[in-house]
Chain A
C-alpha cells in the first residue's frame, strides 16, 4: 500500500487529496500508467506529466524513481512558493 497525495489543480482534477493505492508498480511512471487506466479524471490529471512534479517519501524525485519500500508519493504542479 502506498499513500498517494495530490496537490493544487491535480487534487482538484482528481477530486481528492489523498488515497491509499494497492499497486505492484515498479516506478512512479508505472504508477501513473496504472492510475490513468482507472477513470477519466485520472487520465485528465496525468495527461501531460511534463506539467507535473513528483515527490517520493516527501523528497522531489523523477518519474523513473523506483517505488520499492516507498510509503508516500505526491503529485503536484510546479511549485509557486515565495
Chain B
C-alpha cells in the first residue's frame, strides 16, 4: 500500500511494472490514470492546489477503507499538484487482488472517494482568465453507491 503526493511526473509503465512485483497471490491488477483535459480548446494549464497537512492522511484513510472492504493484495495512489499542461497525467490508482472483481471495485471506490474527499482543488488557467473547477453533484452522488 502506498500513497504519493508529488509535483513531479510519474512513469506509468515503470509504476505498473514495479507494482505487485514478486508476489504470487495476485491474479488481477487494475489501473486508472487521470489526465488534464482541455474542453474549451483554450486551456493553458491546470493548477492543482492541495492541503499539505491533510492530503496524505485523507488518502491513506480512503485506502484503508478499500482494504477493509475488498480482498486487496496491494494498492498504489499517486496524485500530483502544481501546474499541469493538457495531456499531462494528474494521478493514478492501481489495485491488485486475487480476482478481478475486487480489483475493479476497489479502483472505482478509490477514484470516487479521491474525487470528493481528498483535499485537492483544480483551477483552469487560460488566456481569457482563470476558473476554479466546481465539484459536480454527480461526484457526491457517486459515493452513495458504496
Contact = CB atoms under 8 A, between A and B. Distances in A.
Interface stretch (A3-11, A20-28, A34-42): A3-11
Contacts of B115: 79-82
A80 B54 contact: no
Place the interface of chain A in its size category: 10 to 19
A82 B121 CA distance: 10
B141 to A, nearest CB: 13
Contacts of A72: 53
Contacts, number: 68
Contacts of B51: 5, 7, 55, 58, 74, 76
A81 B49 contact: no
A60 interface: yes
Interface in B98-135: 111, 114-123, 132-135
Interface of B: 34, 49, 51, 53-54, 57-58, 79, 90-91, 111, 114-123, 132-135, 139-140
